[in-house]
Structure 1
Amino acid sequence: MSVRNDDDDFYGGFDEYDNTYDVQNITQSSQFQQAVARSSHGRRPTTSQMGWRDPLSSHGKPPPTQSVGRSRAGGRTAMAVNNEPARPMTAVRAAGYTSFANKFQAAERAQNNENSLMQVEEKCRVMEQKVVDMLKESMIAADKKNLKEALDKAKEAGRRERAVVKFKEQNGLVETLNLDLTFNVLFNLAEKYEQNDMTNEAVNTYEIIVKNKMFPNSGRLKVNIGNIYFRKRDYTKALKYYRMALDQVPSIQKDTRIKILNNIGVTFVRMGNYDDALSTFEHCVEEKADFTTGLNLVLVSFCVQDAEKMRESFTKLVDIPTIPDDDFLREKDDDDVLLNQTLNSDSLRGLEKQKKADAEKAIITAVKIISPAIAPEYTIGYEWCLELLKQSVHAGLATELEMTKAGELMKRGDIDKAIEVLKVFNSQDSKTASAAANNLCMLRLLQGGRKLADAQQYAEQALSIDRYNANALVNQGNIVYLGGDLEKASYCYREALNNDASCVQALFNLGLAAKAQGNIEQALEYFYKLHNILLSNVQVICQLASIYESLEDTAQAIELYSQANSLVPNDPSILDKLAGIFDAEGDKTQAFQCHYDSYRYFPSNMKVIEWMGAYYIENQFAEKATNYFEKASIMQPNEIKWQLMMASSQRRSGNYQKALELYRNIHRKFPQNIECLKFLVRITSDLGMPEAKEFSDKLEKAEKVRQLRIQRETDSSQGKRNSANSSHSFSQPPSIGFGGSPVGARQFSGNMSLLSTTDNTPFTVSQRDMKAEDYSYSDPIGSAAPRPKTSGNRRNNNGAEDNFDDLEENMLPD
């Protein structure tokens, strides 16, 4: 018979729970005692039957007093408690499982499962929250333009979201999958791929979202795929996806459908299908018109060159209502400064201003485009647009369009009509009249000369209407600057800055005035202040570089000019400046590169052409220098210098026949040029040509003619000096008497003899100094590099040829 150990406890392991499972308290419960009695523990034989007493068999309680029945089976006795049938005794004690115990353990397992399920769900929520946090970080990084970091965080969010899905599937929580989180993660990842120009990955991610039927309304994301193909200029696929997205959008969502239709119309325009684009935009305007679609309709009408369609489209654009103006609300509270400031800085107020600005821009752009096309003349078309605009809800734009008309007339070169248009504004309100007077001042200022007085008058008129007009003060300062009064000009510029701190023109001109006055430090201060406002303004950077160049700070000047060159790499003047500094520093390589780039962008700069030719001559590449001198001779055909340089380059490169031909052409065009004749004499003599005598005679005659001309000019200058000296003695001419004979002729001759006798120097005829003909010449591109000397035909000191009679026999060649 097996004996039960005292330490066996069927409910061991439950002590960690609360008071409900406290062993010390549960032994006093009657229900627990009855359960023990019904169990195998309670049906065990007593100590009298077993021959020993278990002090803990009944937990210190006497045995029950119920009737006990005995039965024998296999020599063993079983006790029946509470009239239960006795079972036969065995050698192995019972496991102790009854129906009540099974129910208790099932409840226990259910409790454990419920607790574990709660733990799993809590872990899932924590993991999903981490995914959401990673999504937020990705969006914040994208908003800060950190696109690479945003993409990395989007990928990390995708990995964590997949880990959440896998964890739920392993724990049987598939029905609790968060589809919204999955959609947001995939959509954010696709956007970040698109922002990083990873178009293929973005399209693949969008396709995953679109093909998943569990995502509601995911079909409209095909618009994003169409946008990607549109940027890749694959307009056929873009149009396909736009139409598929349009089919996915219900008809009640008009705004979305109109935007997709607008994309379809733009795609038709890019494909050159203007008729389909026109019908698409017309449908958009009829369904729900906005200024973007209306402007597109006007542009497509202009593309098909249909004047009637342009008029109709512009009429539809003008009829689009705009946001009503609420200025009357602010007029009631003009004294409340805080309220006005709050209203002006409100975000909704800013959105309203932006929409109004977009509407005005669309209308003005349409007027500029269709005005020359709807009428034979630009002004007639402009007048038609103005009349239509005055009758619409956008009548307030008429004044601005009048100013725009004046600007367009100035661009077209019709200054007189522009002035007439601007003069009409004198009867308008104060701000408009002041702006018109300022524009008239600017026109007269640009004309210069006698018009500066009119410019001054218009500037004073603009300031009399609005004395805080900063632009008028700048123009007045410019007028004074041209007059040379730099102090007064600086005063006007300062006044303009005091009235409008954002007037960058005044600050720039103030720096120029300080630079002209020689106040370099103050000029640097002004330009650096302007540089902080306009970080990438090339003119400001060039002014700073020019100041440092004047201060001989070449390192700083090179840095600033290089910065300006990086902003506008095709500006030849900046490259020319850099080349000049490098050339002065002795860096010929950098100077050549800058000059070469400057020549590529502006090949008509004679200074650069001359430098390039001289550089190639200096480096003994005469054939390359010929090309530059040839281009210079084409641009300045009457300048003989370039043609002589071109011929000299040909001669240095060894092409004597070409050089001779060029010199002959120069001689035919300039027959009296002595330098050309000298070169002709030299070349024909070297080549042994019979023309050498002819050119030599021409050179001799040309030299004599030049000497005679020089002598004649010398005599003429001496005669003028003598006449100037004698004019003091003969201030009045002699009077003529009767018969035509001069009265007092003897006295006149006597005066002449008196003059000669009073002069100590006798009268002599000046001897003309006829110099001998000079047949020497100077190369216009400089002397050639010395050639290496050889031993052949060497002459001795006496001029005789070397004698080789004393050579030994063994030194002669075989």
Structure 2
Amino acid sequence: MEHVHLAAEEDDLYSGYNDYNPTFDSEELDNDAGFQQAVRTSHGRRPPVSVITDGAARPMTAVRAAGYSSAMTRGSTFDPLGQSKGPAPPLEGKSEDTHRTLRDVLCFTSDCVCFLPLLLQSLDRAKEAGRKERALVRQREQSGNADHINLDLTYSVLFNLATQYANNDMYAEALNTYQVIVKNKMFSNAGRLKVNMANIHFKQKNYPKAIKLYRMALDQISNSHKEMRIKIMQNIGVVFIRMGQYSDAITSFEHIMSESPNIKTGFNLILCYYAIGDRERMKKAFQKLICVPLGIDEEDNHPHYKALAEKFIMTSAKLIAPAIEATFAAGFDWCVDMVKSSQYVELANDLEINKAITYLRQRDFKQAVETLKTFEKKDSRVKSAAATNLSFLYFLEKDYDQADRYADLAMTADRYNPAALINKGNTVFVKKDYEKAAEFYKEALRNDSSCTEALYNLGLTYKRLGRLEESLDCFLKLHAILRNSAQVMWQLANLFEMLEDPHQAIEWLMQLITVTPTDPQVLAKLGELYDSEGDKSQAFQYYQESFRYFPSNIDVIEWLGAYYIDTQFCEKAIQYFERATLIQPTQVKWQLMVASCYRRSGNYQKALETYKDIHRKFPENIECLRFLVRLCTDMGMKEVQDYATKLKKVEKMKEIREQRVKSAREGSARGTRREGSASSDSGHSSHGTSAKGERLSAKMRALPGSNEPYEASSQRDIDASYVDPLGAPMERPKTAAKKRNEDDDFADEELGDDLLPE
């Protein structure tokens, strides 16, 4: 839509800009109640109060980007105090009030040009200057000296007012004030202010209008002002990029590179060719970029301009290398060859190292290593950089001997290379020589106090050494540098927990979840800490959040299930234990927990079905059989005899296995581990069996009555007792379960009283 709109406007470039609206006349702005209300009330945005740190005069243009420069010098005829015309004529016959008014105007104008510390005050001063200047004009007109009116002073006051409106983001007012200046034919070169107006439209993302105004400004600036024209064309190119019209942007940038090449425009031209995928023109643009003489554009006096040029060249090479040839390696080689024959020959080695790093990002370790090994005979700086990367590569592959070797080589080539010292410290760290590792990290920090990797590793080393306070100091310093580092905040929370200060640990974790609000591990740790502090409701909240983001953490699932059991909501606990069953299907304890929850909630039929399903999967599980005997007895089912017989058989087999294990232990030490694996109680047999030995974690064992067994009235033949994995149930209301019918016609004579659990 924007493209069509722009094309339609190109037929009449100046449409709508020759109409003069008298409401824009600044003479009446102070007397216009609507305008004053818009400035002072909610009808218009009141300018914010913010501090200006730079006291220099603001450039006439304000939008800047890579290659986007809009600063322009004022025309030779612009002289706010009228000094270019010689001394001002004497003010004969004027009263003292007239002289005072002129002095006040000059004072306010000077203050506004230099800027006051607060933007709001600057705007107020600019308005006051406008009022005094208009008062001076009226006095001169009344005294018959209208010919002595200083137009440059009027221009200066209006321009300053428009600038202050723009500074305070009051764009509509700024545009209105600029329009007053531009429409006044008595102001020479006022058309250049269309650049300022275009900049405002750019900020408002009204790109078609910005383009139109930039072009209008170009038409009013002669070819003798070549530098200013170049800057405006740079702006036009950047606006076209924002609009996605790369072909139009290329036209502007190509013209600049043919007339007055500079490094920023060259870089932007490469970006445009890259956007449209033109590999041949990317190559040509790169060749033009590296041929740009240093200091040719407006920042030639900048002390870091060469470094900026090198940055643009390196970025361009890394960007186009994968696109200009069949492989990125061939593309890098082409860029290296071009750079070697240019004034930036020292960048060739850096490009080669970037080639190796690109291999590393593609996980092609072999090619990365081969590329870096070619630097072993280079000068010390390059050799150290290559050896540092090689050490890092071998460390990633856990070849610590080679990592140590290249770390030594890197330090030999450049002892002050902090990265080499860190790598050396890392190879020592993995060998658990923490004291020596700390020395290398500290040396790296002495060479570069802002080396965050060394500070982080030093904190970890102190932590391993048990010097928790020193570790804490390292991570606190690191947090001052890396305010939003999740790793640093996690380490601080962990250290405070180790220092037995759970409140501080919680504080740091609370900061951490503002950075990573969906990290389930952090949320679970908060739940654990609140639980240890006895705040069950907060613990539940964070465990629940952790489960929502990662519903497969067994510890979190177990805690939530135990919480609902503890609060006597067994029905809600079922969903968590069923989830645990899906995660660990061979662990019988979770399925027993589900069945126990059904039984405790009064749903005996569902509990019976669950126990039967468990028995099919784990036929040798004694606990399951005991529950089946008890439930079938309570519900008066004839299957009780079958389950009782199976229980008796399984217990007999258990007894035989235990005897064999005992004999093997006595005969040989090799049988010491047979007891746990052979016993069905352990829950690790091939059938996943489980009995008393298979229990839940400390959280589940801590539930009330968890060690109270159901015991049979007689155990002459079998042991039908079992331990409820949920613990003894709380006393439920009498209406919660149907009263057992004591007069059922169950065939007791077939079972025998000795097989019935109590």
TM-score (norm 2): 0.68
Structure 1 unaligned segments of length 5 or more: list them: 1-112, 142-148, 325-347, 726-768, 802-814
Is the 8 Å Cα contact of residues 187 and 209 (structure 1) preserved in structure 2? Answer: no
Structure-2 residue corresponding to 1:46: none
The separation in 2 between residues aligned to 1:120 and 1:454, in whole angstroms, is 87
Is the 8 Å Cα contact of residues 404 and 427 (structure 2) preserved in structure 1? Answer: yes
Aligned to 1:392, which of 313, 319, 342? 342
Aligned to 1:426, which of 354, 370, 376? 376
- Cα offset, 1:681, TM superposition: 7.7
Structure-1 residue corresponding to 2:666: 721
Aligned to 1:314, which of 257, 265, 286? 286
Indicate yes or no: 2:468 matched with 1:494: no
Distance 1:426 1:724, change over 3 A: closer
The separation in 2 between residues aligned to 1:378 and 1:287, in whole angstroms, is 33
Between 117-126 and 430-439, report the one with greater CA deviation: 117-126
Between 389-398 and 308-317, report the one with greater CA deviation: 308-317
- Cα offset, 1:590, TM superposition: 3.3
- Cα offset, 1:670, TM superposition: 5.6
Aligned amino acid, residue 384 of structure 1 = W
The separation in 2 between residues aligned to 1:218 and 1:655, in whole angstroms, is 89
Distance 1:627 1:356, change over 3 A: farther
Structure-2 residue corresponding to 1:333: none
Structure-1 residue corresponding to 2:136: 168
Distance 1:131 1:588, change over 3 A: farther
The separation in 2 between residues aligned to 1:576 and 1:429, in whole angstroms, is 52
Is the 8 Å Cα contact of residues 274 and 304 (structure 1) preserved in structure 2? Answer: yes
Structure-1 residue corresponding to 2:277: 305
- Cα offset, 1:400, TM superposition: 0.5
The separation in 2 between residues aligned to 1:619 and 1:405, in whole angstroms, is 61
Is the 8 Å Cα contact of residues 407 and 421 (structure 2) preserved in structure 1? Answer: yes
Distance 1:791 1:464, change over 3 A: closer
Aligned amino acid, residue 476 of structure 1 = K
Indicate yes or no: 2:328 matched with 1:378: yes
Distance 1:531 1:795, change over 3 A: closer
Structure-1 residue corresponding to 2:165: 190
The separation in 2 between residues aligned to 1:226 and 1:669, in whole angstroms, is 77
- What are the equivalent positions in structure 2 for 1:398-477 lying under 5 Å apart? 398-448=348-398, 451-477=399-425
Structure-2 residue corresponding to 1:120: 98
Is the 8 Å Cα contact of residues 137 and 153 (structure 1) preserved in structure 2? Answer: no
The separation in 1 between residues aligned to 2:656 and 2:426, in whole angstroms, is 52
- Cα offset, 1:483, TM superposition: 1.3
Is the 8 Å Cα contact of residues 614 and 625 (structure 1) preserved in structure 2? Answer: yes
Deviation sequence 1:527-583 (CA, Å, 0-9, x none):
344444555544444333322222222333333333344344454444443333222
Aligned to 1:772, which of 695, 718, 721? 718
The separation in 2 between residues aligned to 1:672 and 1:222, in whole angstroms, is 90
Aligned to 1:132, which of 104, 110, 124? 110
Is the 8 Å Cα contact of residues 471 and 496 (structure 1) preserved in structure 2? Answer: yes
Structure-2 residue corresponding to 1:711: 656
% same residue = 43
The separation in 2 between residues aligned to 1:225 and 1:696, in whole angstroms, is 96
Aligned amino acid, residue 120 of structure 1 = T
Aligned to 1:584, which of 532, 551, 559? 532
The separation in 1 between residues aligned to 2:533 and 2:272, in whole angstroms, is 57
Distance 1:633 1:532, change over 3 A: same
Deviation sequence 1:341-388 (CA, Å, 0-9, x none):
xxxxxxx999232x2222222222222222222333222222222222
- What are the equivalent positions in structure 2 for 1:601-612 lying under 5 Å apart? 602=550, 605-612=553-560
- Cα offset, 1:428, TM superposition: 0.4
Deviation sequence 1:454-499 (CA, Å, 0-9, x none):
2222222222222333322222222222212222222222333333
The separation in 1 between residues aligned to 2:573 and 2:172, in whole angstroms, is 52
Deviation sequence 1:770-814 (CA, Å, 0-9, x none):
97254746356x666643335998899xx999xxxxxxxxxxxxx
Structure-1 residue corresponding to 2:692: none
- Cα offset, 1:593, TM superposition: 4.0
Aligned amino acid, residue 376 of structure 1 = A
The separation in 2 between residues aligned to 1:608 and 1:789, in whole angstroms, is 33
TM-score (norm 1): 0.64
- Cα offset, 1:424, TM superposition: 0.8
The separation in 2 between residues aligned to 1:657 and 1:795, in whole angstroms, is 14
Distance 1:359 1:473, change over 3 A: same
- Cα offset, 1:429, TM superposition: 0.3
The separation in 1 between residues aligned to 2:188 and 2:542, in whole angstroms, is 61
Aligned pair count reads: 603
Indicate yes or no: 2:315 matched with 1:368: no
Aligned to 2:505, which of 549, 557, 568? 557
Aligned amino acid, residue 132 of structure 2 = V
Deviation sequence 1:219-248 (CA, Å, 0-9, x none):
454455545554555544444444444444
> What is the RMSD computed on CA atoms of the aligned residues?
4.3
Between 219-228 and 415-424, report the one with greater CA deviation: 219-228
Structure-1 residue corresponding to 2:303: 352
Distance 1:525 1:788, change over 3 A: same
The separation in 2 between residues aligned to 1:308 and 1:373, in whole angstroms, is 10
Aligned amino acid, residue 661 of structure 2 = S
The separation in 2 between residues aligned to 1:621 and 1:588, in whole angstroms, is 15
Structure-1 residue corresponding to 2:125: 157
Distance 1:657 1:121, change over 3 A: farther
Distance 1:437 1:286, change over 3 A: same
The separation in 2 between residues aligned to 1:206 and 1:133, in whole angstroms, is 20
- What are the equivalent positions in structure 2 for 1:479-628 lying under 5 Å apart? 479-599=427-547, 602=550, 605-615=553-563, 618=566
The separation in 2 between residues aligned to 1:657 and 1:257, in whole angstroms, is 88
Aligned amino acid, residue 314 of structure 1 = F
Structure-1 residue corresponding to 2:77: none
The separation in 2 between residues aligned to 1:575 and 1:624, in whole angstroms, is 21
Deviation sequence 1:439-464 (CA, Å, 0-9, x none):
2222222322xx21222222222222
- Cα offset, 1:164, TM superposition: 0.4
Determine helix, strand or coil for the equivalent of 1:428: coil
Is the 8 Å Cα contact of residues 527 and 540 (structure 1) preserved in structure 2? Answer: yes
Comparing both chains, which one has the higher relative contact order based on Cα–Cα distances under 8 Å and sequence gaps of 6 or more? 2
The separation in 2 between residues aligned to 1:250 and 1:696, in whole angstroms, is 110
The separation in 1 between residues aligned to 2:521 and 2:200, in whole angstroms, is 41
Between 174-183 and 514-523, report the one with greater CA deviation: 174-183
Aligned amino acid, residue 308 of structure 1 = E
Between 548-557 and 393-402, report the one with greater CA deviation: 548-557
Deviation sequence 1:300-354 (CA, Å, 0-9, x none):
3233233333333333333333359xxxxxxxxxxxxxxxxxxxxxxx999232x
Deviation sequence 1:738-782 (CA, Å, 0-9, x none):
xxxxxxxxxxxxxxxxxxxxxxxxxxxxxxx997254746356x6
Structure 2 unaligned segments of length 5 or more: list them: 1-90, 671-714, 745-758
The separation in 1 between residues aligned to 2:606 and 2:256, in whole angstroms, is 71
Indicate yes or no: 2:733 matched with 1:788: yes
